[in-house]
Amino acid sequence: MTFRKIILSAFFIFLFPLAVCFPADTPLEKRMNQMRKSFRELKKAMEAPVEADKAKYLEWVAELKKASEEAKAMEPKKAASVPDDQKKAFVEGYQRKMGESISKIEELGQAIEAGKWAEAKVLIGQINQIQREGHNKYRGN
């Protein structure tokens, strides 16, 4: 058996089952990953904002808002483990928390547009807090 065949055999015997056991992200997880990426960039940028980079910051805000709005329309995976009589309230609470986040993201965009960097930094902190609260309550384990 050639080395190449041994490697291919090892892949199919040992690694392929792992790929099947760990399915791709859910649509909601994909949106959350998009949000995480844009927010991370904004958070880093707001440490020392540069007026000339305002357009880039606003692109990140738009990406963050879009992914947040899409995520708001979805149901968290954790909802499947909530008792049926509590599920509606759970999903509505998730949607309210996402709405709160979207509202702060819009405020962040307005602050950046106006060049109000100190306000933008405060809003970054508020969005971060909303995210932590939301993850603690609505994120699946």
Instruction: Report yes or no on 74 lying in a domain.
Output: yes
DSSP state of 48: S
Rounded to whole angstroms, the Cα distance separating 31 from 63 reads 10
Instruction: Report yes or no on 51 lying in a domain.
Output: yes
| pLDDT of 139 above 90 | no
CA distances from 68 to 18, 90, 98, 130 (A): 31, 18, 7, 12
Locate tokens 């990406």: which residue? 63
CATH code (residue 111): 1.20.120.10
DSSP state of 13: I
Predicted confidence (pLDDT) per residue in 33-77, tens digit? 999 999 999 999 999 999 999 999 999 999 999 999 999 999 998
Rounded to whole angstroms, the Cα distance separating 13 from 54 reads 51
Instruction: Report yes or no on 57 lying in a domain.
Output: yes
Instruction: Report yes or no on 115 lying in a domain.
Output: yes
Instruction: Report yes or no on 31 lying in a domain.
Output: yes
The dihedral through the CA atoms of 23, 68, 35, 60 has a sign that is positive
Higher pLDDT, 12 or 34: 34
Q: Where are the alpha helices (DSSP H) in 46-83?
A: 54-72
- The residue range of the domain holding 63 is 25-138
User: Are 28 and 75 spatial neighbours (Cβ–Cβ below 8 Å)?
Assistant: yes
Instruction: Report yes or no on 59 lying in a domain.
Output: yes
Domain count across the chain: 1
